[in-house]
Amino acid sequence: MTLVDRPLIQYAIDEARAAGIREFIFVTARGKSALEDYFDHAPELESILRRDGKEELLEVLKNTNMDSGAIAYIRQHRAMGLGHAVWCARRLISDEAFAVILPDDVIAAETPCLQQMIEAHAETGGCMVAAMEVAPEKTGQYGVLGVGAENGPILNVTSMVEKPAPKDAPSNLAVIGRYILTPKVLQNLNQIKSGAGGELQLTDAIAAEITNGRPVYGYRFDGRRYDCGSKSGFLQATVAFALSRPDLRDEFMDYLNAVVAMRKAAE
């Protein structure tokens, strides 16, 4: 899926690179071979762009290239939840702390969200999840945090519940698709049973860290999150990102103003 003129996955990669990450693992499935091709080099196209003097497009293309050995692909043969997808990569992750990005959560921020989290994680250690407030009636769509002490944007997490009914939710602080996790979470995924929706839930594996007395933190990131997994969220992101582009802003704003004016006239 393309947001303005870049695939969602490119936004995720750019955010990770800005945070200092240099090695990437993609958990994919059948029919996703276009993802692998996207990050490969295209010498023929590069040669044509260079010949035609299209340096700006050539620079855009270079941003999609990945160095040999920097990227690996793992297949998830059955859709068994986010926890299972992360578990599929366990042998490549080994004993290192790692970050998880869900590309359909696009976050517009002056300082990229994952960079904010990595800087905070350097002080806290443990596991850390991105958190934001949602309407109480929407808690059933998210993993939800119970929190204790707060230190600025950093929250001490006391409990995590996957997709609770509003009456059962410990708060309205939802987990958003950015995580920094320890290898212990992978061990927990080996031991827990299927949770909400019959899937292996990453939330349950992180909550097990709290049960075992190891620290888990929430991080209230500075930025605006768009749920590009929903039609409405994707449309909102398209408008917001288009208006943030100097080369598109004026013409696009004129169009939006004309649409609003026509709607008001029709009323």
Q: What is the pLDDT of residues 168-178, one digit of tens each?
A: 999 999 999 99
Output the average pLDDT for the chain: 89
- How would DSSP label each residue in 160-190? EEES--GGG-S-SEEEEEEEEE-HHHHHHHH
Domains with residue ranges and CATH for the chain: 2-229 (3.90.550.10)
42 band by pLDDT with thresholds 50, 70 and 90:
low
Distance in Å from the first CA to the final CA of the chain:
34
pLDDT of residue 49: 61
pLDDT of residue 63: 67
pLDDT of residue 159: 95
Asked if pLDDT for residue 60 goes beyond 80, the answer is no
Q: What is the pTM of this model?
A: 0.86
pLDDT of residue 46: 65
Strands 216-220 vs 127-133: parallel, antiparallel or unpaired: parallel
Asked if pLDDT for residue 155 goes beyond 80, the answer is yes
- Determine the Cα–Cα distance for residues 209 and 156; give it in Å rounded to an integer: 13
Asked if pLDDT for residue 38 goes beyond 90, the answer is no
Strands 71-75 vs 24-28: parallel, antiparallel or unpaired: parallel
Residue 191 in tokens: 């031991």
Q: Which amino acid is at 118?
A: I
pLDDT of residue 69: 66
DSSP state of 221: -
pLDDT of residue 64: 67
Asked if pLDDT for residue 39 goes beyond 90, the answer is no
Can you say how many angstroms the Cα of residue 115 is from the centroid of all Cα atoms in its chain?
12
198 band by pLDDT with thresholds 50, 70 and 90:
confident
Residue 36 in tokens: 């692998």
Q: What is the pLDDT of residues 80-128, one digit of tens each?
A: 889 999 999 998 997 889 999 999 999 999 999 999 999 999 999 999 9
In terms of pLDDT, which residue wins out, 168 or 67? 168
pLDDT of residue 241: 95
Mean pLDDT of 117-144: 95
- How would DSSP label each residue in 96-132? S-EEEE-TTEEEE-SS-HHHHHHHHHHHH-SEEEEEE
Q: What is the pLDDT of residues 200-257, one digit of tens each?
A: 889 999 999 999 999 999 999 999 999 999 999 999 999 999 999 999 999 999 999 9
Q: Where are the beta strands (DSSP E) in the chain?
A: 2-3, 6-7, 24-28, 71-75, 98-101, 105-108, 127-133, 143-151, 154-162, 173-181, 216-220, 224-227
Percentage above 90 pLDDT, the chain? 66
